Amino acid sequence: MPRPWNVIDTVATPDGVLELRQAGDRDFLILHDGAVLMSSVHHRSEDALANRALPSIASVLRPRVLVSGLGLGYTLRAALDALPSGASVVVAELNPEVVRWCRGPVSVVCGNVLGDKRVEVVVGDVLQVIAKAAKAGTPFDAILIDLYLGPDGDTRDRARGDNHPLYGLVSLQRMWEALTPGGVVGVWGEKPDPRFLERMEVVGFTTDPIFSSKKGPRNVVYVGRRAKTARHARGASR
């Protein structure tokens, strides 16, 4: 008999209602306005986001990595497992409630990821973190974007295309500028979007084939690499 999903917490945010549900000791869901965003049952694509992107910076002794957002902590957990002890990981999460959940009831599913000494939590907009890194000359070796909606999240986002505030040309250029030469960006998405790959390539990233999960929701992972030789990003106006 299926275990019931009990509501642990409900929080109203500017973007809608977030809800944390739990079944048994270790199964959790995060919902947004009633739609499931993250699940402890299906998280292969979140794991793949870190596992496909980070091997390309394996030679960096003290890599600096940005993860956004936090969710149930699976992308961060996979990143920490792949990174050396000298790494530093900045986690940008827009909602403080999600941070609170990961420090509290959800910590059991991902080994208390926020208790890792390599992790710094920033509650705020990831675009501001990226812009600050680019402007201050403190780039990241890897940027992992794992948000509620990917590049093909809904009709409105698809219509924005090149001008999308996060997945458009200007923001992709900011990511390029916020990476070290040889750095990598990984982006979680709902389903393959060839136009997003084209935008990555226009900006200057070399892209990998899209990963698609075979079980559970058919989510995808995009990976783009910045060339090790220094050059300017191209294709996006400031």
The domain in which residue 68 lies consists of 42-225
- Identify whether 236 is part of a domain: no
The pLDDT score that the predictor gives to residue 157 is: 47
- Identify whether 237 is part of a domain: no
Residue 2 tokens read as 């299926």
- Identify whether 11 is part of a domain: no
CA torsion, ordered 149, 150, 154, 160, to nearest 10 deg? 120
Cβ atoms of 75 and 46 within 8 Å: the answer is yes
The pLDDT score that the predictor gives to residue 103 is: 96
- Identify whether 75 is part of a domain: yes
- Identify whether 15 is part of a domain: no
- Identify whether 208 is part of a domain: yes
- Identify whether 61 is part of a domain: yes
Cβ atoms of 46 and 34 within 8 Å: the answer is no
Residue 99 tokens read as 């941070």
Pairing of strands 206-207, 119-123: unpaired
Residue 44 tokens read as 């292969």
Please report, for the domain that includes residue 193, its CATH number. Answer: 3.40.50.150
203-209, Cβ contacts within 8 angstroms, sequence gap of 24 or more:
203/169, 203/172, 203/173, 203/175, 203/176, 203/233, 203/234, 203/235, 203/236, 204/176, 204/231, 204/233, 204/234, 204/235, 205/172, 205/176, 208/52
Domains in the chain, number: 1
The pLDDT score that the predictor gives to residue 190 is: 86
- Identify whether 24 is part of a domain: no
Q: Within the chain, which residues score under 70 in pLDDT?
A: 1-2, 153-160, 215-217, 230-238
- Determine the Cα–Cα distance for residues 18 and 33; give it in Å rounded to an integer: 7
pTM, rounded to two decimals: 0.91
Q: Between helices 169-177 and 194-203, what is the axis angle to 10°?
A: 50
